[in-house]
């Protein structure tokens, strides 16, 4: 069974540009989460989808971040325009339901904003 995949693995962009990160969850997982780890700090929750609906987006930093999950399959996270403080590793995770079940994490996308 394929795990959670993320694309790209690494992105380097200049301040003011736009970047779109993609996450493909494990097939059949309705729950999809985005997290971010900035500069060796803790991994912080960004948002949670249940199928195509945003269940909780309380962790989204500001309106420069837009997450979508059309059709309830893969998800994208767009940052527009990117700022220096957006640099970090963006993790996606999926789970089979919203309870205690293990969240399966992807390898992350390392975003560097210059």
Partner 1 sequence: GEDVEQSLFLSVREGDSSVINCTYTDSSSTYLYWYKQEPGAGLQLLTYIFSNMDMKQDQRLTVLLNKKDKHLSLRIADTQTGDSAIYFCAALEGSGTYKYIFGTGTRLKVLA
**Cβ atoms of 41 and 26 closer than 8 Å:** no
11 binds partner 1 (CB under 8 A): no
Nearest Cα to Cα of residue 75 among 94, 60, 61, 97: 94
CA atoms within 13 A on the CB side of 15: 4
44 binds partner 1 (CB under 8 A): yes
Strands (E), 1-114: 5-7, 10-13, 19-24, 31-37, 43-50, 53-56, 65-68, 75-79, 88-95, 104-105, 109-113
Which region, judged by CB under 8 A, interacts with partner 1, from 20-28, 30-38, 61-69, 80-88? Answer: 30-38
Sites for partner 1 among residues 52-111 (CB under 8 A): 55-56, 58-59, 91, 93, 95, 98-100, 102-108
Which region, judged by CB under 8 A, interacts with partner 1, from 21-29, 41-49, 61-69, 70-78? Answer: 41-49
42 binds partner 1 (CB under 8 A): yes
31 binds partner 1 (CB under 8 A): yes
Residue 103 DSSP code = P
Q: By CB under 8 A, name the binding residues for partner 1.
A: 3-4, 31, 33, 35, 40-45, 48, 55-56, 58-59, 91, 93, 95, 98-100, 102-108
């Amino acid at each position: 069974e394929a795990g959670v995949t993320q694309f790209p693995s690494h992105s380097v962009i200049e301040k003011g540009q736009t970047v779109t990160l993609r996450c493909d969850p494990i097939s059949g997982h309705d729950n999809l989460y985005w997290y971010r780890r900035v500069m060796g700090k803790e991994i912080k929750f960004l948002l949670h989808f249940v199928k195509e609906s945003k269940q909780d987006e309380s962790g989204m930093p500001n309106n420069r971040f837009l997450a979508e999950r059309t059709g309830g399959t893969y998800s994208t996270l767009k940052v527009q325009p990117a700022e220096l403080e957006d640099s970090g590793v963006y993790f996606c995770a999926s789970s089979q339901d919203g309870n205690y079940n293990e969240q399966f994490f992807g390898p992350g996308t390392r975003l560097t904003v210059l």
